[in-house]
């Protein structure tokens, strides 16, 4: 006899985006408001020493395979009881399927300010501005989730929060209509002023 046993499994949500875009802030708000456990990829990378080396600029280079394994393990433990949220710019580099991927987006102007404040050197700053302009995380997320929501850091956050809340409560609902994000005009301005590439 074939037994069809469907495991009850919670919703697996990833919050990702360019460094400085506002991921940690948003994920923490969601986790606090909706009371779901939050796994921070960077903290796991640190606590389990899952990096191969430290760059010249101090960035830790992740060992993607063991990191993926560890995150999956921790997430599965939580998913038995309900939803889990993971946050980090590496979320889309991990070979994991998410029920929902949220990309936190930010204007190039704010990002430049935030990353300069964090002391990013010029090359790293430009690389990240370019990643935001070209929506690197959003494009990568398409492979990781059938539901990708891009939320501008300066608007639409409440809509996404309410939607997640509804989904987590099992309410049948449509994803919110979010503002279209197009960084091209800003990218052109940055190129014209010599800030990029």
Ligand X SMILES: Nc1ncnc2c1ncn2[C@@H]1O[C@H](COP(=O)(O)OP(=O)(O)O)[C@@H](O)[C@H]1O
Which residues contact Mg ion (rule: CB under 5 A)? 24
Q: If you count them, how many residues does the chain have? A: 197
In angstroms, what is the minimal distance from the CB of 123 to ligand X? Answer: 18
Nearer to ligand X, 67 or 87 (CB): 87
Among 25, 64, 96, 166, binds ligand X (CB under 6 A): 25
DSSP labels, 100-166: EEEEEE--HHHHHHHHHHTT--HHHHHHHHHHHHTTHHHHHHTTTBS-EEEEETTSSHHHHHHHHHH
Among 10, 12, 14, 23, binds ligand X (CB under 6 A): 23
In angstroms, what is the minimal distance from the CB of 30 to ligand X? Answer: 12
Among 13, 14, 19, 36, binds ligand X (CB under 6 A): 19
**Should residue 60 be labelled a site residue for ligand X when binding is judged by CB under 6 A?**
no
In what order do the strands lie in the sheet containing 12-16? 38-40, 84-87, 12-16, 100-105, 148-152
Q: How far is CA 174 from CA 33, 41, 159, in A?
A: 20, 29, 11
Residues numbered 68 to 127 that lie near ligand X (CB under 6 A) are: 114
Q: Give Cβ neighbours of residue 44 (< 8 Å, ≥ 6 apart).
A: 50, 67, 70, 71, 74
Q: Which stretch binds ligand X (CB under 6 A): 19-27, 50-58, 125-133, 135-143?
A: 19-27
In angstroms, what is the minimal distance from the CB of 29 to ligand X? Answer: 9
Token pair belonging to 84? 């889990």
Would you say the C-alpha torsion 196, 113, 116, 85 has a positive or negative sign? negative
Nearer to Mg ion, 161 or 166 (CB): 161
In angstroms, what is the minimal distance from the CB of 81 to Mg ion? Answer: 25
Nearer to Mg ion, 42 or 82 (CB): 42
Query: Applying CB under 6 A, which residues contact ligand X?
Result: 17, 19-25, 114, 153
């Amino acid at each position: 006899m074939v037994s069809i046993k469907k495991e009850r499994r919670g919703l697996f949500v990833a919050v990702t985006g360019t460094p400085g875009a506002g991921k940690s802030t948003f994920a923490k708000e969601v986790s606090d408001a909706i009371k779901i456990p939050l796994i921070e990829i960077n903290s796991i990378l640190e606590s389990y020493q899952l990096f191969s080396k430290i760059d010249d600029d101090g960035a830790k280079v992740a060992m993607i395979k063991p990191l993926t394994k560890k995150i999956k393990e921790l997430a599965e433990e939580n998913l038995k009881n309900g939803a889990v949220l993971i946050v980090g710019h590496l979320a889309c580099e991990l070979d994991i399927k998410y029920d929902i991927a949220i990309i936190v987006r930010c204007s190039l102007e704010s990002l430049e300010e935030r990353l300069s404040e964090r002391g990013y050197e010029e090359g790293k700053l430009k690389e990240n501005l370019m990643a935001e302009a070209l929506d690197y995380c959003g494009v990568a997320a398409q492979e990781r989730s059938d539901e990708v929501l891009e939320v501008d850091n300066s608007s639409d956050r409440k809509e996404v929060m309410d939607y997640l809340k509804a989904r987590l409560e099992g309410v049948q609902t449509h994803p919110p209509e979010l503002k279209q994000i197009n960084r091209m005009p800003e990218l052109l301005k940055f190129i014209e002023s010599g800030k990029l590439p």
